[in-house]
Chain A
């Protein structure tokens, strides 16, 4: 159980375009979803926390107008990277949980902005 599906797994886009990443909890209701970013050989950095039906809470230094997060249902959250630039190239990983327990991660999205 506790499967989280993230799509797409890889995306290449041109600078200035927007990219949407989807995160779905397949067999449980995710009251809270988290979005992380990971650069090579570094740890996961929490970008934002989203609760279903509420505005996301962004970590310090994360631009909320650039990284749009929507958590419209208990099984779906989306992250949209707007006006992407090469420095946004990274590994984006969503995670979800149903209660105040452990997180379950999606398989990540490797974004390359050219």
Chain B
């Protein structure tokens, strides 16, 4: 079977850095994606790790450790507009499945 864990809620201050962790258990894994979803909207792609290490895209970075079945999304210089739900999504053969996501609230 497959399992996925990430915190359900995180609150952080504007301008700060926040890390959202994700642990997964699945077979046929070949990469980890991160998506952002604002209330009422569709998910938007943020970052993807196929290999171990850090991927940096502007204020967002994502990290993957295959041996630990672990990844994280790092958001720097938080802005109010970053308040949203964030999903890690393991890619397995022919599927990308989602957990409940992490609701990030950025406060002034």
Interface residues of A (CB under 8 A from B): 2, 6, 32, 34, 36, 42-46, 49, 57, 93, 95, 100-108
Chain B contacts of A102 at CB under 8 A? 31, 33, 45, 48, 91, 96
Q: Tell me whether B70 is interfacial, beta carbon within 8 Å.
A: no
A104 touching B45 by the CB < 8 A rule?
A: yes
Q: In the bound complex, how far is the Cα of B50 from the Cα of A104, in angstroms?
A: 16
Q: In the bound complex, how far is the Cα of B55 from the Cα of A102, in angstroms?
A: 14
Chain A contacts of B30 at CB under 8 A? 100
- The listed residue with most B CB atoms (<10 A of its CB), out of A93, A103, A104, is A103
**How distant is A45 from chain B, measured CB to nearest CB, in Å?**
8
- The listed residue with most B CB atoms (<10 A of its CB), out of A2, A93, A104, A105, is A105
B94 touching A103 by the CB < 8 A rule?
A: no
Interface residues of B (CB under 8 A from A): 30-31, 33, 35, 41-45, 48, 50, 87, 89, 91, 93-101
- 5 A–B pairs (Cβ distance < 8 Å), ordered by A: A43-B98, A44-B87, A49-B94, A104-B45, A106-B42
**How distant is B13 from chain A, measured CB to nearest CB, in Å?**
25
Q: In the bound complex, how far is the Cα of B33 from the Cα of A34, in angstroms?
A: 15
Chain A contacts of B48 at CB under 8 A? 101-102
Chain A contacts of B44 at CB under 8 A? 105
Chain B contacts of A107 at CB under 8 A? 41-42
Q: In the bound complex, how far is the Cα of B91 from the Cα of A55, in angstroms?
A: 21
Chain B contacts of A32 at CB under 8 A? 94
**How distant is B33 from chain A, measured CB to nearest CB, in Å?**
4
